[in-house]
Structure 1
């Protein structure tokens, strides 16, 4: 889907030929003398339109307005969160009547963050999954024009938000694919496709290379499946070689049965989402390829399945990680931390300024924070604050949880350097304490996205989080992100490439 940015007032928006015109109306709307202003003012006066975020009023064939359909939508205070809420209320409208071209016009002053929120919400609301639904209708909406009074003031935020939206869609697409359509090899091929963009390189390692590296924990998880593991290494080189990179590590369990510690059957299908951390890394690199910021980033994805065949690792087995530390595997369903720990050790070779891992790691985090905020753990206060600030800016929220050393007591083992689980109390924290043993002194953060990476029930599907948070954070680490010309159309999305909660 293409997004464009254009100077529009309500008067000029009325002349735009489109299938759907969406007018975003803030509190304190000031009417002009044009037809749309008169329509909005009259609807407010009559009580038919409320400017509270999420309230809408559909109209059809409004006189002197070129659009076939018009929807007036309240956006409250006009800030990013309210704009997102207002546009999300239009999800049905964006699909009803199969609009191909839509115009979204702000009926008042607008901040850059609000424009970014509108782009994200339109992209999210109009997304359609079709990869394994050959008879399904693809997304009808092909072009969206964002209209504001002063495009120059919001151009950079617009360009960034379009790139982020494309990255989010890529993450959603791969997160939504079932395990037999998103194998480790398929994820590796998706990463190779990203390397066709400027300044992105990709290296794929298989079982022989991973064995040579000594990744015994990663290999132990993969030994119970016929699908070969893949260790994916992406590099975005946008700055001088002398500049140390930031490393992103995404958990890539393409299907998690729990292994010998088998999960309950109910909702086990949702364990295809256990690679959403990996999908988010792919989404970030998609956005980096679009934006070309002056920063160096490494993406690492350990990808495999966790299945219970005769070769599968057993509770009580002891394995040796790449770091040399031994691990007693008390629960094979706590496999995500086993593949991540070796990837974290590998990350140190890049001498990064920071390491951030992203994983659908624990059901305990879902209990603690629900689906609103991702769990954040960090060894460095500045890194934690930067990630929280980025999350607020991107409307992709996280919340910091503690890393007190006392929480690691339960990881002690009589038969290895550590156990891979520490019991139910504080489960998300003890999982983070396990990972912390493999990062050394490098500033490190862990994002537990088990509650935010996907939705269940009737709305079942991947959300693409936390791509927005991560891209925003990376852009904040460079003072001179390269932005395209203000009115340049966005490149088409390539997102069609190609639970039990996780532990």
Structure 2
């Protein structure tokens, strides 16, 4: 992890290898103006020639030729002021960090300013610490290298030092924000590492082992339920999905007891399908290799628990991750089968490729058994949500507007995007079954919503939010160039901010 520092040095005295300054479409930032003066008006000339317009994620790198101590100057476009939010600010600085890392920069200085703080607030309260956290988190996300399985790789030590300059505010709060950024980025990059891992190197058992190793020394209480435990607890939903795989299923349960014994208990429940073939309802071959990231929700829960332990909010948080592969085979579950879940409710299987919701049924039941007063589940659940929202936002569905608002507020701080989809009562009939309590899948219409309707059957009267992250977990859309490519780590930072919000209840 790079060294993080606050700096009061002016741009003209920075000894970094590269300096980042910003610009909106309507003008240069003060630091960019200072750089422009040192470069003899070059930046203004570039704007007038429309070589740089301050559009979002524009990032020309200029060699300073000795006119500034730093050899390179990256001018980062932040777009329109009234469109800047934490999501865009994180992404912009992630782009900047990636660009400079690939150019071999080891020490960089990022200059922010009060105008960025004002734009981030956009009429709502924002602080210099909010900007510091987003800027540094974004840069650390840009320091992530994903192609770890190549036999021949050029050495890439990455960025080793990051200085943040230009922000006025309480120095204690700014330094705290840097420490939070280090944890939040570390958690995000852990999710990205797990999501990108080939499934032969990250089976359910190996995921549990790696998570347990990650938690060493954190004080978290970890329990890994093995097949015999799952059988004893009657988790027929998870065990049913697991039947086609030679890899044994597990359920990973993690506890952070930082709040009052009688206080609220937030449960985060994540889908942990470490590879999804679709089972007997087999997926097409094209693109199936990407189903290694179908455990992205579970990875977010596990990494969030690590970050929560590091930041230690006074909140009670449980993480529950049912994990298995979904494979075809002679013992695999089949369309027409009826599974008995931990809750006792029966599920008619109409599509074995709608397996995530089935294993989450047992995960939600386990969380309720452990005393959860509030439930948030997260899953790469439906292609329908990708069609609806693309790779920009997670679908949010809830039975409790207050909890939904808390998740939305946490996402806004975290630099994640969520969009609420309705749960009108008319959707309920789509999952009615003639032979069981419910079907696991309905038709194509409103597929993301009917998946949430299924999950709602397992939460009882507990306040609950469902997050479908099938789109934003991994951006592979060629023309979606204003969001970084590849695994994103969403919504791990949202969960950390949510836990901190629960500490205030």
Deviation at 1:204, TM superposition (A): 0.6
After superposition, residues 452-471 of structure 1 pair within 5 angstroms as: 452-456=472-476, 461-471=486-496
Alpha carbons of structure 1 residues 386 and 107: separation in structure 2 relative to 1, 3 Å: closer
Greater RCO structure (CA 8 Å; 6+ sep) = 1
Judge conservation of contact 1:128–1:139 (CA < 8 Å) in 2: no
Match of 1:281 in 2: 301
Point out the more displaced range, 343-352 or 300-309: 343-352
Deviation at 1:391, TM superposition (A): 1.5
CA distance in 1, matches of 2:85, 2:238: 44
Judge conservation of contact 1:168–1:283 (CA < 8 Å) in 2: yes
Match of 2:44 in 1: 45
Per-residue displacement from partner, 1:453-480 (whole Å, max 9, x unpaired)?
Answer: 1122677632111112222222222249
Match of 1:495 in 2: none
Alpha carbons of structure 1 residues 410 and 53: separation in structure 2 relative to 1, 3 Å: closer
Confirm whether residue 60 of structure 1 aligns to residue 59 of structure 2. Answer: no
Deviation at 1:64, TM superposition (A): 5.3
Match of 1:475 in 2: 500
Alpha carbons of structure 1 residues 215 and 32: separation in structure 2 relative to 1, 3 Å: closer
Confirm whether residue 94 of structure 1 aligns to residue 100 of structure 2. Answer: yes
Alpha carbons of structure 1 residues 53 and 416: separation in structure 2 relative to 1, 3 Å: closer
Point out the more displaced range, 153-162 or 171-180: 153-162
Deviation at 1:127, TM superposition (A): 1.3
Judge conservation of contact 2:39–2:64 (CA < 8 Å) in 1: no
Judge conservation of contact 1:169–1:283 (CA < 8 Å) in 2: no
Match of 1:144 in 2: 162
Aligned length in residues: 478
CA distance in 2, matches of 1:61, 1:343: 56
1:73 maps to which of 66, 71, 76: 76
Q: What secondary structure does 1:432 align onto?
A: helix
Aligned residues: CA RMSD = 2.5
Match of 1:375 in 2: 395
Judge conservation of contact 2:59–2:75 (CA < 8 Å) in 1: yes
After superposition, residues 68-217 of structure 1 pair within 5 angstroms as: 68-76=71-79, 77=81, 80-81=86-87, 83-90=89-96, 93-106=99-112, 109=115, 110=117, 111-137=128-154, 138-150=156-168, 152=171, 153-217=173-237
Judge conservation of contact 1:51–1:74 (CA < 8 Å) in 2: yes
Judge conservation of contact 1:377–1:445 (CA < 8 Å) in 2: yes
Point out the more displaced range, 117-126 or 263-272: 117-126
Point out the more displaced range, 298-307 or 237-246: 237-246
Per-residue displacement from partner, 1:157-189 (whole Å, max 9, x unpaired)?
Answer: 333232111110000000000110110011101
Deviation at 1:238, TM superposition (A): 1.9
TM-score, L = length of structure 2: 0.88
1:338 maps to which of 358, 362, 369: 358
Point out the more displaced range, 375-384 or 135-144: 135-144
Point out the more displaced range, 125-134 or 335-344: 125-134
CA distance in 1, matches of 2:234, 2:296: 25
Match of 2:430 in 1: 410
Alpha carbons of structure 1 residues 300 and 50: separation in structure 2 relative to 1, 3 Å: same
Match of 1:384 in 2: 404
Alpha carbons of structure 1 residues 225 and 25: separation in structure 2 relative to 1, 3 Å: same
Deviation at 1:294, TM superposition (A): 1.2
Judge conservation of contact 1:101–1:144 (CA < 8 Å) in 2: yes
Alpha carbons of structure 1 residues 241 and 274: separation in structure 2 relative to 1, 3 Å: same
Structure 2: gaps of 5 or more residues: 118-127, 479-483
Deviation at 1:108, TM superposition (A): 5.1
CA distance in 1, matches of 2:396, 2:138: 24
Judge conservation of contact 1:198–1:289 (CA < 8 Å) in 2: yes
CA distance in 2, matches of 1:449, 1:32: 37
After superposition, residues 252-263 of structure 1 pair within 5 angstroms as: 252-263=272-283
CA distance in 2, matches of 1:94, 1:42: 23
Q: What secondary structure does 2:41 align onto?
A: helix
Deviation at 1:283, TM superposition (A): 1.8
Match of 1:501 in 2: none
Point out the more displaced range, 79-88 or 437-446: 79-88
Judge conservation of contact 1:75–1:85 (CA < 8 Å) in 2: no
Confirm whether residue 366 of structure 1 aligns to residue 386 of structure 2. Answer: yes
Alpha carbons of structure 1 residues 334 and 34: separation in structure 2 relative to 1, 3 Å: closer
Structure 1: gaps of 5 or more residues: 481-503
Match of 1:348 in 2: 368
Point out the more displaced range, 88-97 or 301-310: 88-97
Deviation at 1:376, TM superposition (A): 0.5
Match of 1:496 in 2: none
Match of 1:483 in 2: none
Deviation at 1:55, TM superposition (A): 3.3
Deviation at 1:249, TM superposition (A): 0.4
